[in-house]
Each structure stands twice: as C-alpha cells, then as structure tokens.
Structure 1
Amino acid sequence: MSHDQNFKNLILDYPREAIAFFAAAEASALDDAVRILPVRQEQLQERLGERFRELDVPLLVEWPDGRRAALLFVLEEETDPHRFSIHRLAHYCLDLSELLATVRVVPIVIFLRQGRFATELRLGGDTQSYLDFRYLAYPLFQANARDHYDSPNLVARLNLPNMAHAPADRVETYAQAVRGLLTLEPDTERRLKYIDFIDIYAQLDENERLIYQRDYAEEAKTMSAFAERFIQQGVQQGIQQGVQQGEARILLRQIAQRFGAIPDNTRQVIETADAETLLQWSDRILTARTLDEVIH
C-alpha cells in the first residue's frame, strides 16, 4: 500500500480543498479567481536532474489578473515521522524556489502516525543564524475527527478515519466520511475511487461492517448500487475492448499474409480502430489489390 501515492492522488484531485484544509491560514488569501496548477513531476525531473526528489506534490497558485505573485505550495505526506528529513525538504524547497524563480513557497507536511519530528532547521554560527527553515506540520493523528464530522471540505471528510477518535466511534467516523463523499462529490467514478481511500484507512473489521450496514442502511445501499453499476459498465467495456482487439489481430494477420510486412503507422491505425470499422476493412481485404484499398 502506497500512502504517498494515495495522498498525491487526493491532493491532485482536490487541490483547492487540500490547501484549505492543510494550510488554512495561507488559504485565506486564495479567492475563487485563483488558478491552481500542479507542477508536473516529469518537468521537475528533467530540469532538476540528480537533484530531483519525488517526495511531494507542488501546487502553483496563480492570480490571472496579476495582482499578486504566484504562490507555490509543497505538500508532502509522511507515514512514519522517523523517516522524515527536514534537510531533504528544505533542499527540495530551495530547488523549487530557484527553478520557478519565486521565494513565495509554503512547505506542508502531513503526518499520519505518531512520532517525533523536527519542526525547524537553523544553520548558523556563534553570532547569528544564516538559514532559518520551517514548515507547516499537520499531524492528522492529533486532529479530532468529531470536530470535522460536518465539514464542507471533502479532503477533511475523507481523512476522518486518519484522525483521533475513540474505538467506540470507529463506525460513526467511517459513516461520516462516506456521507461526506456522497454529499460533496457528485462524480460516480470518484466516489468509487475514494470509498477505497476511506476503506483503506478505516480498516473496519467484519463486525463493524455489519453494524455500519445495519445503522446506515440507506448509504450502504447507495454505495453498493454505485459499485455494482460501475462493475457492470467495466465488464461491458472489457467485452467490447476484447472484441476490438481480437478483430484487429485477425485483420493484421490477413493483411500480412496478403501484402507482406505492415508499416508501423498502419499497424497503429488498425489497433486503434473501432470494431465496426475493422469489420468493414476485413470485408475489403477479399477484393483489394493494395493495402491502401483496405484501410482507405
């Protein structure tokens, strides 16, 4: 299980909500007009080379009217605080600051588990400090889940199982997370994607799941219906894809037998054509004198 990837997906899918939840004070200056753009990891790797450290999700916030300079949020998830390196984070933020030509950088670290971690880094001599680096620490395990049961922020609701709650409240905390997902996210595919996120971190046992299905029957039924419909769509798409791939392979074999070697661009056209088009081309091969007569 990659907690790092789970949180990268969460932040990339809901960047505005993530900033609002994990960096509330900084987010207060962001109005609806701002544009939030993820900084591509491929771009960073290409331009930073060996200095590249894939440990965060950089989000660049821009004011289209230019009234303020762009602001870079660097969010990192850390499951085990003992593995966290403030030196590494400081180094990365300096790299990004230089690369993107900005000193407006907000580093944020989301801690999932308890443990000790450094909160500031100072470099200096006997007379003064020459580098003073700090970041926003958000220890999810210290947040009180009950305080966020009715939050309108989807990132907060999805993370309820990661927050502090009594063992007796596990089912209710799970239910409030699912309710937030159903209320705040209208997209079916994302609902199914993030019910998995909730399940991963809630880790309800079989008895707790039975209690949830009994006490929150309507919501449990709704999620089951979404899942069933999504699976049926996936099966149908899989069948159609299988038919298309099979017809493409047959046509490619017929063409090779009739006309010899197949150019790469022609092979790509055939492999990406829909099933109906492939059937038409298969009929043409019986009378075609050239390859062009088959696929044009």
Structure 2
Amino acid sequence: MDQLSDLKRSDNPFAIITLVHLTAKRTKNHPDERFQEKKNITRSLYKQGLSRQKIIDLYRFIDGILSLPEKLDALFWEDLSRFEESQKMPYVTSVERIGIRKGEQIGEAKILTRLLQRRFGIVPEWASEKIAKAEPSSLEEWADRVLDTPTLDEIFADKL
C-alpha cells in the first residue's frame, strides 16, 4: 500500500496513469468506491498545480478508464463543479467543455439510433454496440449515410 500512497502524491503523469489503472482494477465491481477514488484523483490534479493542458489531458484519460454509472457520473460532475467553484479554478471552462463534448456525443448516438429505428425498424445489438463505442466523427458519417444507404451493413461499412 506504500506504493499507492507514493503514486497518489506524485505529480508525474505516469504515476497518475498507473494509479488510475490500479484503481480501475480494484474498483471494477464497486461503483461507489470508484466514484470516491475518481473524485480524489481528479481533485489531486488541481491541488498539484499542474498546467491547464496537463489537467485536461489527464482528466480525459481518467474519465475514460474510471467510467461510472450514469447517476454517479452526474454526481461526479456536480461535485467537480462545486469543487472548482470553491477553489476559484481557472479550468472550469475546460472541464465543462469536456462534459459538453461527452454530452454531444451521447446526443449524436441517440439521434443516429432513432434515425436507424425509423428507417429500418429494430436496431440490432451489434449496431447499438458499435454506436455506443464510436467516435463523434464516425457517428456523423453514419448519420449522413442513413437516408441514402439501402442497408444497415452499408451504413456501418468502413469505406463507401
């Protein structure tokens, strides 16, 4: 456990990445504990005085690895906003922008799914999984194909 304490105190990005991976493994089936750890790790980034860009880059990684169920994710964002406000952090807009992008991606996925349902009926599980894992650029490309492409397989083809 001494190593975990050292990792938590370090401002070395590789130590933070290692800490996040170890935390992800340890909290895999414990969402409440993961929520608490994600909160602590994120707050530590601010307290270490890292540059704005380092915080943004590390947070993107943390958010991807320490994913939370929807309700806990919402609580996490509320807590982070309150923390930033109380600390008068200059990074508020950056973290908010990350949240906005994430929200836009979720919205794009929902719209694409709805378009596919209206065009083809029930959307198969494989298509839903592909949509859930997709980058925004892929979601946009697939949405553009919905009206002009005759089959689901062709919509999701790598190149047309």
TM-score by length of 1: 0.27
TM-score by length of 2: 0.46
Q: Comparing both chains, which one has the higher relative contact order based on Cα–Cα distances under 8 Å and sequence gaps of 6 or more?
A: 2
Larger Cα-atom Rg: 1
Q: Whose strand proportion is higher, 1 or 2?
A: 1
